[in-house]
Amino acid sequence: MVATTVFIASLVLVYCIHISFFRVNVIFYAAIADAFVASAIAGVILLAWSYFRILGHFEKVQLIAIWLLIGYALAISVPTVIDRSLSFYILEKLKQRGGGIKQEKFEQVFTKEYVKEYRLVDVRLTEQLESGTIKIEEGCVKLTERGQRIAGIGQYFRRHWLPKNRLLMGRYSDVLTNPFQNDTRQMDYLCK
């Protein structure tokens, strides 16, 4: 417990320093990097501090592996979820607007406020550029080979591994397993 407390304290310190004084390209990647740095710091303390001599080498390696897993879980569960979550946005927006918004106005809130306030397009395009899944050429956003593979995996998972009976506003449906299936609209935003 003492060793893991040292790791958690190191992680919080490294994360606070990172977000306060350094540039962050993608929050999730930065939080993962922080977990590696904190694991290294705590690992050095684990090896150097005589208090931990009772632990064997195997236990120390296990602890570092556990810390990396904890760091990964925290990276996803805290800063990434809060940064990306539409659910958190809804709660924050309700609080901002005095505790209540008319249900029929939520589409307006999402399209006119959420996208602009959270610079959603800029954030998501930056993440995809940094991940190597898209490229932007002459104002046209295109999938890379890696992006093609990941999009294919996502489509496969969506169709075959998402719930077929998902509750959506009081009714169970499979519409989110293939949301593009009935889209026959002609769009004027395609790149040639």
Which run of H or of E encompasses 7? Answer: helix 2-21
- Token pair listed for 167: 């509750």
Contacts of 71 (CB under 8 A, 6+ apart): 11, 31, 32, 34, 35, 36, 38, 39
- pLDDT number for residue 1: 87
Give the CA distances from residue 170 to residues 37, 127, 167, 173, in Å, rounded to whole numbers and listed in that order: 46, 34, 6, 10
| Distances in whole angstroms, Cα of residue 139 to Cα of each of 26, 88, 121, 136 | 22, 32, 14, 6
179 three-state secondary structure: coil
Q: What's the length of the chain? A: 192
Which pLDDT belongs to residue 94? 95
- How confident is the model at residue 188, as a pLDDT? 84
Q: Which residue has the tokens 């935003």?
A: 189
pLDDT at 103: 95
pLDDT at 2: 86
Please tell me the predicted confidence (pLDDT) of residue 16: 96
Q: Which residues contact 114 (CB under 8 A, 6 or more apart)?
A: 86, 89, 93, 120
Q: Which residues of the chain carry a pLDDT beneath 70?
A: none
Give the integer Cα–Cα distance in Å for 149 and 143. 9
Distance (Å, whole) CA 7 – CA 68: 10
Per-residue confidence (pLDDT) for residue 137, from 0 to 100: 94
Nearest Cα neighbor of 36 from 20, 56, 18, 57 is 18
